[in-house]
Amino acid sequence: MEEEGLKLILWILLSFAAPMCMCSTSNFTTRSIRPPFALPHSFSSQQPSSKLLGDIFGLQPPFAPWDSANEKCRADSVRFLSAVKNLEIWALKMHDATGKLASGLLNGNLNQLGDFDQCLSVQNSKYCMARAYLEPVKHNVKDDNVLELMESHRMVKSTAFDGVRFFPTFSAISWAFCVPSSCNYEDVQTSLRKLAHRYNASTEGLRIHVQVDSDSCVVRQSEGTFRKGPFITMSILVAVVVFAALGTFTDLRLKRERLEGKISVEHLPPKIDRFFLAFALTRNTTDLLKTDTAYDDINCVHGIRAIFSLIIYLIHRGVFGLFVPFTNRTELAEDFEGAWTMIFRAFLNNVDTFVVLSGLLTSYYTVKKLQAGKKVSVVMMYLTRYVKFTPIFVITVMMVKDMDYWIQSPQVIRVAQHFVNGCKNGFWKSFIYMNNFDGMDHMCYPPSHQLVTDMQMYLAAPFIILAMYKRPKLTTAGLGAVLTFLAVLRYFVIHKWHLSTFIYHGISLSQMVDAADRMYLNPLHRLTPYLAGIMLGYFLRVTGRRSLLRKDQMYAGWAISLLCGYYSFFGPSEIAERGYKYQPHDSAVFGVLQPCLWSICLCWCIYACFTGYGGLLNKFLSWRGFIVFSKLSYAFYMVQILLIFGGIATVRTPQFYKMNSVFDLNELFLLVVCSVALTLLFLLPLAHVLALVTGADVRAAEKQQANNRRCQPRSFSMVESRYLRTLNPAERPKPQPQNNLRFREGFLGFLHDQDTRKIY
């Protein structure tokens, strides 16, 4: 019985691309389907000289939906099968381009992508990608062991009824077919399901479920095809580059005129010149590379932001890298087991870090402005944040929406087309930061969830900060009650819906998406670390750099924070092992404790570094190189998924897995280059433009000129100079010291006051 089970598995896979019974026509003789292990003589040429070629191409009989209800598809399929029998080149190319069974089934090599380019090189051909799932009818130990190896120990599970395509899965079998272009996805799906029905009728062994999605079939894109979306995207990019060139030339011209004495140093250029200067690469590069900070800045946040930006990139690269069709995928699954993977499996800690930093910096710089007696404009806070984040976000979304135009490959169908469709259907929601309401599997550009939920939480931030500034005790008590309510609600939701806040071994795609929709995309469940950051920011502004704790209390605080950090990452480390069984209560307890404990750990580290008890940790996190990367981190976060998917989309054949194939240094370098370009072309220039529109650049320039005049060294008359020369050096008056305030020129001061320095 065990041997029969194994034979049945191989039979299903090998018969996946076997032909349907051919209909009787004047050119065809009806024949029954032969086992693919034998050489089907019906596909061999009658000529002895080509018998070998007939046998070679007949090792796997061709597939075509000849029994389709579509008359054109049916006629073209019969013509294709006849042409294969006669060894016509165009038909052999299509047959050869269809995916074939390869070695390494027990090592997870189940994805057969065929030859995409060869298929579409034939006129009137179509490339279709089908997904199949094997489901045991009755439990059999040996059958189950074989399936476990084929499905790479079921590291991530899914079924044909999940309908989830956002996350990679190890359960689906991807198989490519090259069929006549007159056949649509329904014709292919119907024919494959009829073939699978022969096996599904059995009460023993396995059942096979076949799915061909509406976006899984493509034809070759005609050269010179015009699409409005890519044209608009390229027009915007070209316009911004032109503005950058004009701004750079304007800056160089003004510098030359100052050197020649045509204009004074304090001369304020006309408004049109100031507009182009906003895009000047010379100025923006200088601003990007500046590493000086104000005396009251929280310098350690730059290092924290940089480190966790890299960790999140590695998580994204590792998770979405599983979409690559590796020939030894089972080996990959075995490598990513063990407690060390909790750094990635407990992913909420990494993303909650940016939530804490966002709340912290929003509160810190808003309270600083209130302490200086300035008025806080809530509308201006919203506008500044929107102008800062939206352009790069929208450009990224536009590139994703048209990815199928820029790249054509089997991986675009298998991986990226789902994201493309999400942006085509919900593109407008990205402009108003509401795309998370569509759910993780249908939203436009799902990786933007962090930006979207943070923007939604930011709407309440000014009012919470103002309330805390005016009524600190009452507001703190109210926030404590809110945090308690959120903890109870979080436990209830996780336990009731069997959600998981970590990626355990054997998790199903439906459970991951359900958890994402109910919690991950819900700003209400992300408020805990955000409120913790707001309270810390207010506390640091009020107390300043002086520590209110004794040395022994600081040591105790470090011990407690380390324990909190350890549990929030490695508390449920058994989830990373094979055989883990999900426990709703344990998952709910961890889901409640994780955001609280990690927020405590992170807030303590920031507090200790800010008050001078960080030691080597503070020196490391305050490294000037992190300050530069901190300015790039928002663009780094937004564009990384686009580049990751772009790299995956170019894969056309199965690859052999190695650890360095999951993490690509070339891709990381390209990501940094793109982040620099987007920051210089969009992020910094548009902040200049906003300052120009609101008049902040003029006020900042006037303040800078007044500051320069106050700091001018005193000039002496000729008589005074002669008298000073007669004095001993020790008796001569010392020169006036320069002003110690580090004033940020132009729009940087405006951004500083308006709290737009936070970058993910």
- Encode pLDDT of 256-284 as tens digits: 888 888 887 777 888 899 999 999 999 99
pLDDT at 459: 96
Mean pLDDT is lowest, of 10-19, 106-115, 277-286, for: 10-19
Read off the pLDDT band of 708 (50, 70, 90).
low
Tokens 């790479």 correspond to: 152
Read off the pLDDT band of 699 (50, 70, 90).
low
Looking at per-residue pLDDT, the higher value among 134 and 14 belongs to 134
Read off the pLDDT band of 758 (50, 70, 90).
very low
pLDDT at 125: 95
Tokens 């449920």 correspond to: 572
CA triple 245-250-255, angle to 5 deg? 130
Among residues 675, 665, 679, which one has the least CA distance to residue 637?
675
Name the percent of the chain lying above pLDDT 70: 83
- Taking residues 399-418, report their average pLDDT: 86
Cβ(304)–Cβ(353) below 8 Å:
yes
pLDDT at 701: 65
Read off the pLDDT band of 27 (50, 70, 90).
very low
pLDDT over 80 (residue 743):
no
Tokens 């010179």 correspond to: 224
74-90 residue pLDDT tens = 999 999 999 988 889 99
Among residues 184, 181, 194, 173, which one has the least CA distance to residue 130?
173
Mean pLDDT is lowest, of 61-70, 341-350, 500-509, 728-737, for: 728-737
pLDDT over 80 (residue 666):
yes
- pTM for the model: 0.83
Residue 348 CB contacts under 8 Å (≥ 6 apart), including other chains: 501, 502, 520, 594, 595, 598
pLDDT at 210: 92
pLDDT over 50 (residue 385):
yes
pLDDT at 102: 84
Strands 173-180 and 156-157 turn out to be unpaired
Among residues 308, 290, 294, 288, which one has the least CA distance to residue 621?
308
Read off the pLDDT band of 45 (50, 70, 90).
very low
Tell me the average pLDDT of the chain. 83
Looking at per-residue pLDDT, the higher value among 663 and 536 belongs to 536
Q: Which long-range contacts (CB under 8 A, 24 or more apart) does 73-78 make?
A: 73/180, 73/182, 73/183, 73/184, 73/187, 76/124, 76/180, 76/181, 76/182, 76/183, 77/179, 77/180, 77/183, 78/22, 78/23, 78/25, 78/27, 78/28
638: left (phi > 0), else alpha (psi -120 to 50), else beta? alpha
- Please report, for residues 33, 42, 128, 210, the alpha-carbon distance to residue 20 in angstroms, rounded to integers and kept in the order given: 7, 14, 17, 15
β-bridge partners, 682 = none
Mean pLDDT is lowest, of 63-67, 456-460, 547-551, for: 547-551
